[in-house]
Structures are given as structure tokens and as C-alpha cells.
Chain A
Amino acid sequence: MEVLERAELDGLLNELKRRGYRLIGPRAERGAIVYDPVETSDDFPAGWQDEHQRGVYRIQNSGGNALFDHAAGARALKHFLIPPRRLLWRAHGGDSDFTVETPRSTPPHFAFIGVRACELHALALQDRIFIHGPQPDPEYKARREQAFIVAVNCHRPSGNCFCASVGSGPAVTAGYDILLTEVVDAGRHYFTVAAGTVRGQEVVEVLGLRSAEAGEEAVAEAVLQEAETALTRQLDLSGLREVLLGAADSSHWESVAHKCMACANCTMTCPTCFCATVEDTTPLGSGTAERWRVWDSCFTTDFSYIHGGAVRKTGASRYRQWLTHKFASWEDQFGTLGCVGCGRCITWCPAGIDIVEELDALRRKRQQKLQAV
């Protein structure tokens, strides 16, 4: 393990830029911490901390120096790896011919800085589907394989995080090129550094960092411990699949639907939700047709539209679909849960609907029902 002083952080960023990466990292925008292009370490949200409640999010500056003192921000990495709107193909029609062209551009080389454990797990879920699944997405694959990941261990999980329950955090264990643990202690500000890949190791070597001393490693370890202790939210996963599959006609969905606006903020902010629709357009006068892929959500009416109408017309049926997919049928389909416990859907639901609470409520109702029999 090496040590990177705060003052040396720009050396790392510059080395990544020199290797042709576009840097994406956390920034404090008005109102929220989001992943955005960054140039220097001054762009990181120094001192900014976030508070998450159900449907409430606030950032404030503590006046401290820590750059990564926040939990998962408002924007997930899917914004960069599965862009919200992307041209799939363009067709040209003449009097006698018809040709289809797939746009080929070199995929952007992103270096993501400050990536959290939950997000790495979300990326692993998407890889399973878009790289290793039966219908790989070449664009995703290209972007993903280029992406350089500088992960940073969490030390201040939010009140909505429950990554530990689903085994995806708070400590980063895999999926990074370089892993940093930020330490602000006794007037010092530094990062412990571990490389996770060959290219990560190459970058670390170029920087010529010194080895961490035992004391520094111990403090970094304590930071991780603190995060584990601070993470108090829990989701009980035992038998959850059966709870959900047995709840298809539960009255509970109606009670959620009273609060739910089918606005889709939950699915849009979720790092694992990847549903998309296609739009066919015909630019006027161009003699061409285009097919675009755009982010969609199971909360829209069109999402379940088949000949004759939408299958899921009510808010209750859409909420049920979402939760049941994430925590039950996703397992059947992809062999894992569809949730990494980042808490975004709880924070960013304007109605403050809390999936952990809803799942617990469904479990209680099932137990009551079983006892009554």
C-alpha cells in the first residue's frame, strides 16, 4: 500500500489526462453533489457533506478539507456509460435502395474518480447484462472496457444507505483500477493507495509514491471501521423473493400507490435500472430515418403497452412491478438482486417512499397472513 498526499492528487489526475482519459468526478453543483467532468482536484467538493432522508437531500459545507465526505450523489455512472439518448442507426432511402448505417465513433475514455463500492457493484450488474448477457451492447462494452476507475472508500454513509445488507459496501473490494482511502487526521490530509489492475499499477508506479507506514494504514483501516459502524440501515433479505412473489395481490400496493406519483425519479436515479425505449424519427427532408435509444421507466404507461393497451395501467401495478423485479424476478433473470443498496431511490423519491420500509411492510403482512391461516 502506498501513500498519496493531498498535494499529489493532481499528479494522479494529470497522469490520467496524459493517458487520454476524460476525468469524471464528484462536484458540488447548486443543490447536489453530482458526477461531472472535472479538471483539477479543486473541482472536487472540498468540505461538502450530504444529508439524506426520505425524499429530502441537503448539502452543506462543513469547512473541512475532505474531498469525498459524501455518499452516492444524485447522478449515477449510467449517465456516462448508458447515455440517456443515443443514436442506434440511421437508414437512407433512395428510389431503389435502402441502406442502414450504424454510427461508429471511438468510445469516450472516461476515468471515473471517487467511485463508491455500491456503484462498482452496480457496474458489475450491468456488465453481466450488457457485456456477458445473451444480447451484449457493443457501445456499453466499449465505454466500460475503456473506463478507468479510481474508487474511494466511503467514510460517511448516508442515512439511506443499506449497502452492507445487500453485500455491496461500504468497503470497496473489487472492480477498481486504483482504490483510495481518504484520511484527514491530525493536521494531515492523504490517501492510502492500492492498485487493483495492471494498468492501475502502472499509473501508481509512474507517480513514484512512497509506501504507507503502519500508522497510516491503521488510520485508514479505522476510517473503514467508522463507515461500517455508521451504516445502521438494514434490509432483511431472508426469504424476500418468496415474500414478493407471494404478494402479487397484496392490498399493500394500493396503499403505496396513494403516495406514488409514477414520476419515475426512483428508476431514473437508480444505478442499476437500465430500461430504455426506442424512438424512430424521420428528419424532415433528409430522406433518412433514425432510431434512437432513450432511457425509459417501468413507471410509464407506454412501457407496458402491447396491442390493445397498457398492461399496467395503475400506479399500484407499476410499483409492484418495480419492487418485484428488483428483489425477486431479477434473481431469476440475472442471478443476483437488482439492488446495490445505494439509497438513491429513497432519497430522490419526492414522495419519500422508502423501499426498505415497503419491503419490511410486505414481509410483516405476509407473516400476519400466514399466522392467520
Chain B
Amino acid sequence: MRGVKKPKLAVWKFASCDGCQLSLLDCEDELLTVAEHVDIAYFPEATRAVQKGPYDVSLVEGSITTPHDAERINKIRRMSRYLITIGACATSGGIQALRNFADVNQYIRIVYAHPEYIETLRNSTPIAMHVYVDFELRGCPVNKYQLIEVLNALLNNRRPNLPTYSVCIECKRRGTACVMVSEGVPCMGPVTQAGCGALCPSYRRGCYGCFGPMEVPNTAALSACWSNIGVQKDDLVRGFRMFNAYADPFRKESEVHEHA
């Protein structure tokens, strides 16, 4: 990149917990290297210095939950050459998409003293339902190495190494014995996309599905596995309604059991 102007990077936030942006800050040593190669032009979580757009790369965290956000994301898209969404909120609607299965007005009445001040959308939706997205990086939160890999690949004009197969593959490479088979622990691994390095199973817990559906998720077959180890209908619904509840394959499977 010698002699070439550094690409301008912007980091945007919508409805989210900031955890994914923190993953970027959490890169520490690598972050300094990233900063050598990109110009961090807009990143309010990290610095108050702001450069005006347009931006070469926009990282977008969070889901769309308000009419104002729905407008704002369009402006960001217009200002960005590449738009990359980061995290479960931005890629599937996040945990807040649980509202999509309920009546959001009822929630508002319970939570806020003055519901009339609240202007919100019925559903929490992923960014790609509003604008064109160049790349979706999954995870709740995203994996910092994957985040660097995306930026790295972009800077080097190559395809990122980001697998879309199951968590099980990472789990077996790590040498962990399957928690579902050996302890009867319900695990979302077989239908969930790799990315975390199979963290939870390595601590003998089932996968929570943070990275959303894998490339060919056979959710019905997983439900059959869970039923075999004694998981009841309500917990099947809950299992699929976690951080990626509104991702199509998970949503549909949860609805099958809700209405069963």
C-alpha cells in the first residue's frame, strides 16, 4: 500500500450493545497495525475526531428498530464504498428481534413511563433488509480475528477465509468430544456457523448459536436430536430464539415448535 492513500474506515452503531465495536478495540496490538493501513475516520466509540465522508469501508453494528435508523442507514450506504455489517444484531436483528414474535407496543407500555414518547418499529431487522450489504460478519459478538481477517482481505484484495460450515468442524479440530453425544447437553453446533472456535463446547456447554445458521442448516434434524435427549417443546422454541432468532432458518424452526 506504499504511496497509496489509506482507505477511510467508519464504524457505525444502530440498535446494539456495542460489544462488536468493542471487539475491534479489543484487537489491541492488531488494532495498531490496522490503524497503520486504514484511516480511522469515524469511530465515536474510540475517538471524538471525526472526518467527513465518503468512506471506503463502513462497519455497521446493530439492527434497525426505529424509523430514524431506517433513514440513517440509507445515508450511510450512500457514503460508503463497501458496507460490512458486523454481529448478530446487524446480520439477523439480534436478541432484540425477540420483539418480532410479540407485540412491541405491549413491551413499551410495560417498560416506559411515557410510552407516547417512544417511536419504534414493529420489528427489529437486519441491515441487509434495508440496504445492499457487501459482506456480513456474524457472531454475538463477532470474533476479533475474523474482523481483522475481513479488513485484511479487503486491504489485500483477496477472499476472506471465513467458513460457513458447522461449529462442529471447529470443535473436532480442537479435539473436543461432542457434548451432545457424550453428556446429553443440547447444542446448536450442528446448525450453527463456525467462527468462535467452538468456545462453549470446549467448556462442556452447548453452543448457543451466536454465529447464526450454517450454510445448509438442517434445523428439523437438530430438533429431533434435542427431543431425543429430552428437550421439551418450549425449550426447543427458546433454543432457536436466541441471538439470531430472526435469521430465517432459526425463526422457522422456532415457529414449528411454537405452533406444534
Contacts and interface: CB of A to CB of B under 8 A. Distances in A.
Nearest to B226: A350
A34 B224 CA distance: 27
Nearest to A264: B169
Interface residues of A, number: 48
Nearest to A56: B181
B177 A264 contact: no
Nearest to A300: B165
Contacts of B221: 258-261, 351
B215 A300 contact: yes
A301 B179 contact: no
B152 A282 contact: yes
A192 interface: no
Interface stretch (A24-32, A38-46, A232-240): A24-32
B173 A284 contact: no
A301 B164 contact: yes
A279 interface: yes
Contact of A300 (B153, B158, B169, B217): B169
Interface of B, helix, strand, loop or mixed by DSSP: helix
B216 interface: yes
B34 interface: yes
B37 interface: yes
Contacts of B222: 261
A285 B172 contact: no
Interface in B159-189: 161, 163-166, 168-169, 172-175, 177-184, 187, 189
A32 B182 contact: yes
A21 to B, nearest CB: 20
Contacts of A302: 163-165
A58 B182 contact: yes
A251 interface: no
A38 to B, nearest CB: 15
Interface string B85-97: 0000000000000
B161 A279 contact: yes
Contact of B224 (A31, A257, A268, A351): A351
B169 A79 contact: no
A55 B226 CA distance: 12
A285 B228 CA distance: 50
A75 interface: yes
Contact of B30 (A34, A264, A284): A284
Contact of B177 (A74, A263, A351): A74
A29 B152 CA distance: 38
Contact of A57 (B173, B177, B187, B190): B177
A281 interface: yes
A87 B143 CA distance: 22
A279 B173 CA distance: 15
B191 A261 contact: yes
Contacts of A85: 173
Given A282-B158, A301-B164, A268 B218 contact: no
B166 A301 contact: no
A348 B153 CA distance: 35
Contact of B204 (A31, A55, A279, A280): A31
B168 to A, nearest CB: 4
Contacts of A219: none
A113 B25 CA distance: 45
B50 interface: no
B182 A79 contact: no
A262 interface: yes
A295 interface: yes
B199 interface: no
The CB with the most chain B CB atoms within 10 A, among A31, A260, A263, A281, is that of: A263
A85 B170 CA distance: 11
A94 to B, nearest CB: 11
A88 to B, nearest CB: 14
A300 B189 CA distance: 14
Nearest to A31: B182
A265 B175 contact: no
Nearest to A282: B156
Interface string A330-363: 0000000000000000011111100000000000
Interface of B: 30, 33-34, 36-37, 148-149, 152-153, 155-156, 158, 161, 163-166, 168-169, 172-175, 177-184, 187, 189-191, 204, 215-218, 220-222, 224-225, 228
Given A34-B177, A258-B221, A264-B172, 15 more contacts: A31-B179, A79-B175, A260-B218, A262-B165, A262-B218, A263-B190, A281-B152, A282-B152, A285-B33, A294-B173, A295-B169, A302-B164, A350-B178, A350-B225, A351-B225
7 contacts: A59-B182, A262-B218, A263-B189, A282-B156, A300-B165, A313-B216, A349-B181
Going nearest first, the 10 A-B pairs with the smallest beta carbon separation are A268-B172, A32-B177, A263-B190, A84-B173, A74-B177, A31-B182, A261-B190, A263-B168, A300-B165, A263-B166
